Structure 1
């Protein structure tokens, strides 16, 4: 059986120091390459799992932020519908006001028909104001809930309304044929003025609903900004727990390379005593 190679005490100490320096050098190189000083739980269990919790919460909030963005588009589509319906109501009012000064049956019937066509367009527009299958104006009184936090405990629920011409919000009465024609073919001022009053009331009601939409939009936008800031805070917190200081790691690299070089030189010097024995032969 061959005798084992026995190192001197000085050589063993230098070799152990070189091995330790090499391990530290590899760790530093990995940190410089990845930018992280904590990559696995074994590196630092407390910081690793705390950072993981921050990252997971940030990911959950990012999903909520996307949901808020979609809800903002839903409100925007409803608001577009409200603005367009408001313009149609103004157009209908203009027709009714023109009818007040009409002096013949033909003109009155033409204006009345145009008025009814505008009311039909209001109905169609209300039906077309949905977003991704959700419509806050179609009269189904749909509810839409926006969740703000990762657990869904913080939320905002919006309820739609009926924006059709004869719905509860606008309450515009569908008039019968020749309803604007009075005695002697002249304008029926009472009926026409009643229609104008209803149009004014419809505009007021629509503005009230628009204000609700605006308030909801403002709330969601504020929460969206808050969520975005919270996500950045959580990511920064996770980074502070796991990221490496590149300046420090760069300095460590230079120091370890120097130590490695000195260790190699020291090991060479320690081996000279053993080498001197060969000179005896």
Structure 2
């Protein structure tokens, strides 16, 4: 059996129901901190914000790759710095042999240090990549991988102490200290190898600088995208708090008005 309501009661009830619905939406905004939680709230801003957030996540994944690339280059540079030290020791031994009567011991020391060149190169890897083992490194900067940087390593792993680049091969021969010419030849070879290493170190430094700049750019872009998404979806908590107070007041007034309408109907019944 349907219950008949007076026009005033029905109007008050409808207003009260609308107020309750608005309070639920406002409460959702206050609890989530967002004015746009689903596409139903605002389809344009919702999907724009989603695009921004999706791109920010993709760039964040690329940023991790940049961090790994930086560490790979730093590992290679650490190896080169240590190779400088070893080559300097070898040069000192070759120079000392010119005025020493005990060239046999100096030759043994020279060859022992020379043999460590390969070990240094092999130990300069990071994350499975070794830029002193002729590996290549490719770093992607954008979300679809179209913008990238390629870093070509060098081959410094030969048992004979060779240092090979794309265009040159610098070889440090085994110690030949029997003649002054052999000692001088060793010094020349070492100087040439050092020069090659310095050139490669400069290339690595340039690549490292480029990657670092792109990493900073990516960080700033991620912040920009996230901020843009927030501006499209975040709620003004002060405004929503004020809205809730206003709606609570309206709800109280609606409840009071509905009660008054009911009392009016009861007064009519008392006439009979």
> What TM-score, normalized by structure 2, do the two folds share?
0.94
C-alpha displacement of 1:22: 0.3
**Alpha-carbon distance in 2 for matches of 1:172, 1:219:** 31
Aligned to 1:48: 46
Q: List gaps (5 residues or longer) in structure 2.
A: none
For the residue of structure 1 that corresponds to 2:221, the secondary structure is helix
C-alpha separation between the residues in 2 aligned to 1:56 and 1:173?
53
> How far apart, CA to CA, are the structure 2 residues paired with 1:173 and 1:206?
13
Q: 1:185 is matched with which residue?
A: none
Using the TM superposition, give the Cα deviation of residue 130 of structure 1 relative to its aligned residue in structure 2, in angstroms.
1.0
Provide the C-alpha distance between the structure 1 equivalents of 2:162 and 2:52, rounded to a whole number of angstroms.
52
CA distance in 1 between partners of 2:46 and 2:164 (Å): 57
Select the residue among 75, 78, 85 that pairs with 1:77. 75
Out of 232, 237, 245, the residue aligned to residue 254 of structure 1 is 245
Q: Aligned partners of 1:12, 1:149: CA distance in 2, in Å?
A: 59
The answer on 1:263 being equivalent to 2:254 is yes
Secondary structure of 2:163's counterpart equals: coil
Residue by residue over 1:41-60, the C-alpha shift from the partner in whole angstroms, topping out at 9 and shown as x without a partner, is 11111111111111111111
CA distance in 1, matches of 2:172, 2:212: 37
Which sections of structure 1, spanning at least 5 residues, go unmatched? 182-187
Within a 5 Å distance, the mapping from 1:178-257 to structure 2 comes to: 179-181=176-178, 188-257=179-248
CA displacement, residues 205-231 of structure 1 (integer Å, 9 cap, x when unaligned): 111100111111111111111111111
Partner in structure 1 of residue 34 of structure 2? 36
Aligned length in residues: 266
Aligned to 1:142: 135
SS of aligned partner of 1:25: helix
1:7 and 2:5 are equivalent in the alignment: yes
Measured after TM superposition, the shift of residue 277 of structure 1 is: 2.5
Shift of 1:264: 1.0
Is structure 2 residue 114 aligned with structure 1 residue 119?
A: yes
Decide which of 158, 162, 165 is 1:166's aligned counterpart: 162
Distance 2:94 2:183 in 1: 6
Once the 2 structures are TM-superposed, how far is the Cα of residue 175 of structure 1 from its aligned partner? Answer: 2.7
What TM-score results when the alignment is normalised by the length of structure 1? 0.91
Superposition RMSD on alpha carbons, in Å?
Answer: 1.4
Distance 1:245 1:213 in 2: 48
| Shift of residue 273, structure 1, vs aligned partner | 1.4
Moved more, 260-269 or 210-219: 260-269
Equivalent residues of 2:170, 2:196 under 8 A apart: no
Q: Partner of 2:99 in structure 1?
A: 101
* Secondary structure class of the residue paired with 1:39: coil
